[in-house]
Amino acid sequence: MIDQDSMNYTRIAEAIAYIKDNFKEQPSLNEVAAAISLSPFHFQRLFSDWAGVSPKKFMQYISIEHAKGLLKDQHLSLLDTAYETGLSGTSRLHDLFINIEGMTPGEFKKGGDALQINYSFSQTPFGQVIVASTGKGVCHIAFEENAEQALTTLKQRFPYALYQQSTDKLQQDALLIFQKDWQQLDKIKLHLHGTAFQLKVWDSLLKIPKGRLASYGEIATAIGNPKASRAVGTAIGSNPVAFLIPCHRVIQASGSVGGYMWGSTRKSAIIGWEASQKATL
């Protein structure tokens, strides 16, 4: 099913990109379907199967006005919802950070010297990802359709590590989130390195409930440094673990989706997908 979702996402991404480029004209279902060379009926069915809601409803989730509403109409601030996760059960996503065994400064300085890194590729509803892990936990997740480029980027982060293409349980546990299996989050282990500021920002991202959004300013306030919005943006841009550390949930205060390391169209798709999944629970 994941493979099919990924194939569908390619077409959905084309539709989302078209809508973003023609947002002011509010294109109809027929116009969007024609733009990606599908019949309106096929497009409607494909989109609904992928997102769980109609194209019209989905677009409401990623529109600027809806984003503004998500920011403005949340009755609780990000600080007040720090322990809310939107998950059923008692697991909390931010607990991932409690038992992180961070890479030592020496390991990082040496570019991963003596580290054994396993990596593999997997299809997700938002395209292919590369996921990498050490013996301590997942150290890297990135969206990238080109496997060679994905591996090159990983090796640039840890140029002296030893690499093996191998799927391990650490990776499998992390990939469960793309199957909407949020109950398994407490099994995920991370092996991250970052400055104290970066780790505070990433931890704050983990506290944004699924299906909600925060502004850069809210994140800055949440970490006790309300004037650090620009630095927060830089830290978010250096997030090494796509989707699992949800930097896609941070948008501009204006409601604009803003940038994303793995493409603004993909960011819009993820925002809408999460909102639609939350709405249908």
- As annotated, the active-site residues are 247
Strand order in the sheet with 162-165: 138-143, 127-133, 116-124, 162-165
Q: Quick one: three-class SS letters along the chain?
A: CHHHHHHHHHHHHHHHHHHHHCHHHCCCHHHHHHHCCCCHHHHHHHHHHHHCCCHHHHHHHHCHHHHHHHHHCCCCCCCCCCCCCCCCCCCCHHHHHCCCCCCCHHHHHCCCCCCEEEEEEEEECCEEEEEEECCCCEEEEEECCCHHHHHHHHHHHCCCCEEEECCCHHHHHHHHHHHCCHHHHHHCCECCCCCHHHHHHHHHHHCCCCCCCEEHHHHHHHCCCCCCHHHHHHHHHCCCECCCCCHHHEECCCCCCCCCCCCHHHHHHHHHHHHHHHHCC
Distance of alpha carbon 159 from alpha carbon 27, whole angstroms:
47
CB 234 within 8 A of CB 110: no
Distance of alpha carbon 249 from alpha carbon 251, whole angstroms:
6
Residue type for position 46: L
Token pair for 15: 């539709």
